[in-house]
């Protein structure tokens, strides 16, 4: 049975590679970081997903975050069905956009005006254009390990040091575009001061994930975000929070509410579409009034504000509650504690970072507070751990440098099942060699 299932996935993957680069629509899905053949999913319900062979997994990817209520909740399906009966796209304004913008602003007060896009990448591209137009400056500062979509200016790494100009990390990116993006070290205000101090005329924006999720989960240390706010106030730069992952995951008001730091501009995505493609950016009214048609900063999109995505997002955000966040915090704490204990018993060195319903198990004996620390993790050990968990029906992110996500559909029993599976998987990771294949 196991061989038949693996062969079916292998056949689908081989077929996909004939018509799609790498056989996937997004690189991490190809399992290259963990080995083996990607599973092709057919359906999801609650906290579980089922592949094309009928094998069911307990899911900790949750579509990379947006499914905070689980897969295919009845209320969401009902809303989508009702909305679709009236039309799936108009390329014209709808009432749903207004209601969604009003709800977002009520939950995230720093977003005084909101513009919807079709992805988080679009939101980040657009917010950067606004920041440059508002300040009249070209250079921007980001942090090594923080991901803001695949626009040219964001695919940049730190180079040899914190004050080094960015260099492209992908072919096809002009060096001139990359040179406008400066990179500092997350949780290191001294590195920020060093970079900004070398830029004649200053930077347009400091763009940061307030809770990093794209090098694995790395929370901000006390004073880090406050320091960025103070620096921006002092230098005239704009503080931009990329909350595509943390928005409505960290709290109903995002990381900025949880951590008490107000940015000038914010990017959102993932959860505000309830699992459908969506993004948004917003912030101070004076800045957002610069966006066309109110102002000269052009940005547009045929499917922006799509009624299906707006309806799904309205339902998803309306279901957020203190009770839900309390449950997610409890389950997250139980999972992190159980994983830590299981790793210790197996003699496996791990460092676990967690904020609420997001966590990452880093295979390292050192604390992880920035990208350099994250890159010190044993990715081969994580690959063995991943495969051993997959063999036991637990679906984890197929990369060491991604976040695990819990949902309201997860239960204490699910967490207990995961911890039991991890006891075996950590032993596999510790001893090396190949993991069992499901």
Comparing CA positions, the residue from 106, 5, 57 lying closest to residue 392 is 57
HSE, CB side, 13 Å, CA atoms: give it for residue 135: 24
Say how far apart CA 356 and CA 333 lie, in whole Å.
Answer: 8
Task: Give backbone dihedrals phi and psi of 330, rounded to 5 degrees, phi first.
Answer: -65, -45
Q: Which residues contact 279 (CB under 8 A, 6 or more apart)?
A: 116, 117, 118, 119, 120, 121, 122, 123, 244, 267, 268, 269, 272
Residue of 242, 264, 373, 378 with catalytic role: 242
Say how far apart CA 115 and CA 300 lie, in whole Å.
Answer: 10
Helices (H), 281-391: 285-288, 307-318, 322-346, 371-375, 379-391
Say how far apart CA 334 and CA 238 lie, in whole Å.
Answer: 38
Say how far apart CA 278 and CA 271 lie, in whole Å.
Answer: 8
Comparing CA positions, the residue from 92, 76, 71, 65 lying closest to residue 307 is 92
Residue 147 annotated among the catalytic residues of the structure:
yes
| Both structure tokens of 233 | 């106030």
Residue of 53, 57, 60, 147 with catalytic role: 147
| Both structure tokens of 402 | 């991604």
Catalytic residues: 147, 242, 270
């Amino acid at each position: 049975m196991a061989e038949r299932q693996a062969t079916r996935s292998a056949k689908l993957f081989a077929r996909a590679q004939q018509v799609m680069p790498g056989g996937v629509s997004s690189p991490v899905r190809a399992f290259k970081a963990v080995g083996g053949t990607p599973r092709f999913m057919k359906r999801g319900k609650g906290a579980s997903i089922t592949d094309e062979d009928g094998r069911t997994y307990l899911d900790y990817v949750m579509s990379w975050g947006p499914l905070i209520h689980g897969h295919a909740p009845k209320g969401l399906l009902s809303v989508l069905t009702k909305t679709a009966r009236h039309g799936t796209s108009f390329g014209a304004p709808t009432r749903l956009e207004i209601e969604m913008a009003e709800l977002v602003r009520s939950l995230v007060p720093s977003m005084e005006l909101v513009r919807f896009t079709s992805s988080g990448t679009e939101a980040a591209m657009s917010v950067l254009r606004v920041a440059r137009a508002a300040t009249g400056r070209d250079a921007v500062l980001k942090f090594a390990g923080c991901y803001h979509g695949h626009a040219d200016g964001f695919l940049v790494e730190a180079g040899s040091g914190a004050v080094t100009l960015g260099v492209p990390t992908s072919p096809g990116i002009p060096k001139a575009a990359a040179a406008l993006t400066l990179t500092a070290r997350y949780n290191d205000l001294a590195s920020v001061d060093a970079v900004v101090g070398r830029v004649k005329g200053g930077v347009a924006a400091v763009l940061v994930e307030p809770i990093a999720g794209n090098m694995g989960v790395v929370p901000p240390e006390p004073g880090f975000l406050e320091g960025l706010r103070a620096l921006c106030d002092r230098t005239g730069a704009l503080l931009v929070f990329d909350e595509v992952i943390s928005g409505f995951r960290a709290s109903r008001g995002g990381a900025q509410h949880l951590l008490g730091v107000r940015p000038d501009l914010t990017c959102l995505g993932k959860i505000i579409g309830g699992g459908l493609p969506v993004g948004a950016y917003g912030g101070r009214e004076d800045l957002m009034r610069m966006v066309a048609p109110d102002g000269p900063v052009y940005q547009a999109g045929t499917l922006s504000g799509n009624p299906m995505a707006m309806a799904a997002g309205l339902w998803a955000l309306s279901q957020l509650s203190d009770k839900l966040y309390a449950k997610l915090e409890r389950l997250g704490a139980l999972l992190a504690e159980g994983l830590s204990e299981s790793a210790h018993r197996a003699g496996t060195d791990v460092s676990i970072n967690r904020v609420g319903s997001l966590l990452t198990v880093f295979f390292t004996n050192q604390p992880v507070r920035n990208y350099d620390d994250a890159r010190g993790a044993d990715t081969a050990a994580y690959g063995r751990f991943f495969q051993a968990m997959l063999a036991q029906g637990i679906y984890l992110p197929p990369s060491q440098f991604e976040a695990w996500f819990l949902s309201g559909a997860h239960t204490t029993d699910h967490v207990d099942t995961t911890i039991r599976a991890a006891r075996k998987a950590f032993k596999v990771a510790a001893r090396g060699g190949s993991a069992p294949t499901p």
